[in-house]
């Protein structure tokens, strides 16, 4: 796990975007796993800038989003479909048929989850998965006590997650209780992970993820067992890491080819 601590979220997002852009330039048909939420917004702004100003081409890229709320259609203002088109897809040249987001209105949810996994496999697997971390240590919507080997499935949202995400809904009771999410097994099968976490609120789950035991109580801790994870943090999110100085030195002394 490479831990990369930057002075602020903007600098971290720029570095993460550079890593992603290098991958897309080397492999134009890259398969990306994408996240929603406040954390990747800076990364998405930077990808849009790279596309507009430096011609970064997404025409052969395929994307799979981590999750979607059950019961919300693509036009619902709080759906992750709406989020992704508003914050990223509207500005990139990814063909519509290359974009995959779980269907919150699927009638047969288990069948939909199975076909989502098939689509990931048919696309050749995820080359790079973008992740945020929940205040309770979740990745995707894999809440504490989720199975480490799970694949795309419907989960019941933890009350902490519902509280954190309720502000995006008109009224708290409109916040769904369930979501379709890639499983932890799906995430672990991706070839590389880019985890981003910013702000004091993330300091504790970040420290548990990087320095704690691998436990289903902190789903993100499983990433310690993934062979290629980069964690981009700002100073606040890194503030509870006992080994922050060590992490900094380790990363600074890497050769350039290992940094991208
Ligand atoms: C979003 C997702 C979640 C978020 C996490 C952090 O697609 O899967 O795991 O990454 O809840 O959310 P923010 O970034 O809003 O703090």
Whole-angstrom Cα distance, residue 201 to residue 20? 26
Whole-angstrom Cα distance, residue 183 to residue 16? 23
Q: Give the model's confidence band at 133: pLDDT under 50 very low, under 70 low, under 90 confident, else very high.
A: very high
Whole-angstrom Cα distance, residue 86 to residue 36? 11
Give CA torsion, residues 9, 15, 20, 24, to 10 deg: 140
- List, by residue number, the catalytic residues: 67, 136, 138, 143
- Average pLDDT score over residue span 217-224: 98
Output the pLDDT for position 172: 82
Instruction: Report which DSSP code applies to 200.
Output: G
Test site for ligand 1: of 9, 13, 39, 193, most ligand atoms within 8 A of the Cβ: 39
Q: Whose CA is nearest to atom 13 of ligand 1?
A: 37
Cβ < 6 A, ligand 1 pocket: 35-39, 66-67, 132-134, 138-141
Q: Whose CA is nearest to atom 5 of ligand 1?
A: 134
Q: Which tens digit of pLDDT belongs to each residue from 24-44?
A: 999 999 999 999 999 999 999
What residue spans of the chain are helical by DSSP H? 9-26, 41-54, 80-87, 109-122, 159-165, 184-189, 203-211, 244-252, 256-259
Q: Of the ranges 35-39, 144-148, 179-183, 253-257, which one carries the lowest mean pLDDT score?
A: 253-257
Q: Give the model's confidence band at 239: pLDDT under 50 very low, under 70 low, under 90 confident, else very high.
A: very high
Q: Measure 196 CA to ligand 1 centroid, in angstroms.
A: 10
DSSP-derived secondary structure for 103-145: -TT-SSHHHHHHHHHHHHHHTT--SEEEE---TTS-BTTB-TT
Output the pLDDT for position 259: 79
Q: Measure 65 CA to ligand 1 centroid, in angstroms.
A: 12
Q: Which tens digit of pLDDT belongs to each residue from 36-86?
A: 999 999 999 999 999 999 999 999 999 999 999 999 999 999 999 999 999
Tell me: pLDDT of 260 over 80: no
Output the pLDDT for position 205: 98
Q: Give the model's confidence band at 243: pLDDT under 50 very low, under 70 low, under 90 confident, else very high.
A: very high
Task: Give the nearest ligand 1 atom to 201 CA.
Answer: 16
Whole-angstrom Cα distance, residue 37 to residue 80? 9
Q: How many helices (H) and strands (E) does the chain have?
A: 9, 10
What are the phi and psi torsion angles at 168 (to 5°)? -80, -5
Q: Whose CA is nearest to atom 9 of ligand 1?
A: 140
Q: Measure 105 CA to ligand 1 centroid, in angstroms.
A: 21
Q: Measure 253 CA to ligand 1 centroid, in angstroms.
A: 31
Q: Which tens digit of pLDDT belongs to each residue from 178-214?
A: 999 999 999 999 999 999 999 999 999 999 999 999 9
Task: Give the nearest ligand 1 atom to 161 CA.
Answer: 11
Q: What residues contact 164, with CB distance under 8 A and at least 6 apart? A: 134, 135
Looking at the whole model, is its pTM more than 0.85?
yes
Task: Give the nearest ligand 1 atom to 138 CA.
Answer: 9
Q: Give the model's confidence band at 171: pLDDT under 50 very low, under 70 low, under 90 confident, else very high.
A: confident
Q: Whose CA is nearest to atom 10 of ligand 1?
A: 132
Cβ atoms 39, 198 nearer than 8 A? yes
């Amino acid at each position: 796990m490479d831990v990369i601590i930057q002075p602020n979220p903007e600098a971290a997002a720029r570095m993460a975007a550079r890593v992603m852009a290098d991958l897309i330039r080397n492999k134009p048909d890259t398969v990306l796993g994408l996240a929603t939420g406040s954390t990747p917004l800076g990364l998405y702004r930077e990808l849009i800038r790279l596309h507009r100003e430096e011609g970064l081409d997404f025409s052969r890229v395929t994307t799979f989003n981590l999750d979607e709320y059950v019961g919300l259609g693509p036009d619902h203002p709080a759906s992750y479909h709406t989020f992704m088109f508003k914050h990223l897809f509207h500005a990139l040249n990814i063909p519509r048929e290359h974009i995959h987001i779980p269907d919150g209105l699927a009638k047969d949810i288990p069948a939909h989850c199975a076909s989502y996994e098939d689509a990931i496999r048919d696309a050749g697997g995820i080359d790079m998965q973008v992740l945020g971390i929940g205040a309770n240590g979740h990745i995707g919507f894999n809440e504490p006590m989720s199975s480490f080997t799970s694949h795309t499935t419907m989960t019941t949202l933890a009350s902490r997650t519902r509280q954190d995400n309720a502000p995006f809904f008109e009224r708290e009771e409109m916040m769904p209780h369930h979501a379709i999410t890639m499983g932890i097994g799906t995430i672990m099968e991706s070839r590389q992970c880019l985890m981003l976490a910013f702000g004091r609120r993330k300091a504790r789950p970040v420290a548990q993820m990087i320095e704690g035991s691998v436990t289903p109580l902190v789903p993100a801790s499983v990433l310690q067992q993934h062979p290629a994870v980069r964690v981009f943090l700002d100073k606040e999110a890194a503030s509870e890491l006992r080994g922050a100085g060590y992490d900094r030195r380790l990363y600074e002394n890497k050769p350039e080819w290992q940094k991208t």
